[in-house]
Structure 1
Amino acid sequence: MNLTSSQLALLLAVKQGGSLARAAETLGITSPAVSQQLAKLERDLGALLVERGARGAKLTPLGNLLAEHSERVAAELSRAEETVAHYLGAHANRLRLGAFPSAAVALLPDGLTALRYRHPEAQLSVVDVPTDGGTELITSGELDLAITASYSGAPSAVEGVRFEHLLTDPLRVVLPDDHPQAQGPASQAVELKAFEKDAWACSITGRPARTQLNSAAADSGFVPWVPFQTESYDVAQALAASGVAVAFVPELALVPGRGTRARRLKPALARDVFVALPASASHVALAGELLTILKKTGQALHRRQQSAATLG
């Protein structure tokens, strides 16, 4: 038969109380209920577990062995409760974040300021992650929330992780200000084909941004020449400012400066920015709070982008 923890607890209560009446009081049930449960357990086991007498009740040798198991079960349950309390306590006031640099600059400050104001004792931390990274740190439990991006629609499904869309981040082509395509109205989109013979600054082969460039260029009928390979949009823009390259740069990462112009592309290209967090994040209350703030920030950025596009 399958013993249950409640049956073991019944035997432990008899052992500790020394009578069926005291066991009933400990368990919060009636004495007849204790007698009935013990009788059923003994029938199921085919062995006597309690010796009843005028001075009370005591366990048989087998009953004592089972009561010892009950003590160990009770101890494990107590430790389990402590584990739950520690886990929830550790997460209640802690938020471990990951973000790629341009998202950390554009999206996180408002949220971190709000959390610091609302929860002065909160333990906040941020680590750099690759543009398309962070989800593996969510699944491993090292991060509570990560800001990630996809250059090809929705990110691939990851078990135990849910994604919340924040915004679509348009890509611009950043040019030296003396480039022929840098002339004319800022609102005028330029054809990607116009950069067929230019040197490009972009990430290495296999990275999402490079894959997007290669695919868009293929659609326009050419293979891009990429002698400058960097993951940093700051470096890419510096190379454009020096006059040696052109580069795709998302609006979140644009740094207006001398020596460059940022132009819209035709056809338009973009990346999508998401928040990744555990599929069940109820134990991390601050994650849900920050997500709400990030969505508002993303909506505000989107409105500014639309306004700039209209004015441009």
Structure 2
Amino acid sequence: MKVTLRQLEILRAISIAGSISRATRHLGMSQPSVSQQLAKMEDALGVLLFVRRRSPRTELTPAGMYWASSAERILAAVEAAETQHLDLFDGSGLSLSFGATPSLTGRFIERVAEIALSVPQISRFDHVWAINSAELIEKLMMHKVNVAVLSAERVEPHRESLSVFGLFDDRIVLAVPASVPVDSFRACLSGKDGSRYAGCLNRYVDIGDIAHWSAKSRNWYQNLLPRAHPYFGCMTHETAVRIVAAGLATCHTPMSVIPNLPGDVRKRVRFYKLEEIARSVALAMPKHLNSVSPFRDFAAQVSGLVRDEYTSERLGLSQLPLPNNTDR
């Protein structure tokens, strides 16, 4: 019986991604090649690793779950040894891949890149972009990313494998065109739409399911701006705010997006607090990297940056309270 590291990598990828087709994208392999390696692994072990049935998700057998868990431990140990080797014996330095979602880009990535440059053992820094935290956690668990800042909720199921550091509560705010007078906004909140600004207040930007709080966002509109409908749809929060800046609609966006917006966009948008909608943001990295001082130092500095600059108090300076609505 001989199981290869490549086969363990394939099994880990499928276990994390939930299907062979999704795993192939992370592995950079064709589906026939993945299936061939899995068949060889099953032959070597004398067991089936997957339940054979028509389903969009790949279901592991008990033996498959055992080997998926073993694969995570074995591969983490190998990758830890390789990283330590580079740190101790290889003068070329370490390569660091940092992952973040679109709401934490712009100026934030500039500062993170400066931190990477300040750690002398890091010889290369790569910023890995992911559409949302769900995609980012896959990259993190497959070790395509070393350190990531993402939604804490997505990290919870993987705490056994990851070191997690809580950073801040990222409040969700309502973005409204600055051209809309507060009185007109208050009128729409009270169910009136007689002003000439009602058009943009009766439309909002729907970001689909890229954010886990999207259902809360839709419920908010149904309850407080019931005349508004999701005319626009887009895949990033920054794009949604740009549509608002054009005076076309409103949208919900994480507070952390605000400092990364261009100045000309920010001045055309007014942000209102919505205390009832929030997400927690965390920094996460594989546990074995805690023993590698350059990664540990980088993570500590990024955590400090985020805690200093992305607090509710600091970002709250650019927000206004929701207008009082005495007409309802």
* Global fold match (TM > 0.5): yes
Q: Is 1:264 equivalent to 2:272 in the alignment?
A: yes
Give the AA of the match of 1:257: D
Instruction: Say whether the 8 Å CA contact 1:192–1:265 is kept in structure 2.
Output: no
The residue number in structure 2 matching 1:8 is none
Work out the CA distance in 2 between the residues paired with 1:276 and 1:260: 34
Identity %: 12
Give the AA of the match of 1:136: E
Instruction: Say whether the 8 Å CA contact 2:176–2:251 is kept in structure 1.
Output: yes
1:182: how far off? 7.5
Work out the CA distance in 1 between the residues paired with 2:166 and 2:278: 14
Work out the CA distance in 2 between the residues paired with 1:94 and 1:248: 36
User: May I ask how many residue pairs the two structures share in their alignment?
Assistant: 224
Q: Is 1:201 equivalent to 2:168 in the alignment?
A: no
Aligned-CA RMSD value: 3.8
For normalisation by structure 2, the TM-score amounts to 0.56
Work out the CA distance in 1 between the residues paired with 2:249 and 2:297: 42
The residue number in structure 2 matching 1:4 is none
Equivalent residue for 1:138, pick from 134, 137, 140: 140
Work out the CA distance in 1 between the residues paired with 2:209 and 2:276: 22
SS in 1 for 2:285: strand
Work out the CA distance in 2 between the residues paired with 1:297 and 1:183: 38
Structure 1: gaps of 5 or more residues? 1-81
The residue number in structure 2 matching 1:285 is 293
The residue number in structure 2 matching 1:172 is 173
Asked which structure has the greater CA Rg, the reply is 1
The verdict on how the C-alpha distance between 1:121 and 1:287 changes in structure 2, with shifts beyond 3 A counting, is closer
Work out the CA distance in 2 between the residues paired with 1:161 and 1:182: 49
Matches within 5 A, 1:183-198: 198=202
Work out the CA distance in 2 between the residues paired with 1:145 and 1:294: 10
The verdict on how the C-alpha distance between 1:177 and 1:84 changes in structure 2, with shifts beyond 3 A counting, is closer
The verdict on how the C-alpha distance between 1:266 and 1:99 changes in structure 2, with shifts beyond 3 A counting, is closer
Give the AA of the match of 1:103: L
The verdict on how the C-alpha distance between 1:139 and 1:213 changes in structure 2, with shifts beyond 3 A counting, is same
Work out the CA distance in 1 between the residues paired with 2:287 and 2:214: 30
Instruction: Say whether the 8 Å CA contact 1:182–1:263 is kept in structure 2.
Output: no
The verdict on how the C-alpha distance between 1:287 and 1:262 changes in structure 2, with shifts beyond 3 A counting, is farther
SS in 1 for 2:105: helix
The residue number in structure 2 matching 1:157 is 157
Work out the CA distance in 2 between the residues paired with 1:160 and 1:219: 40
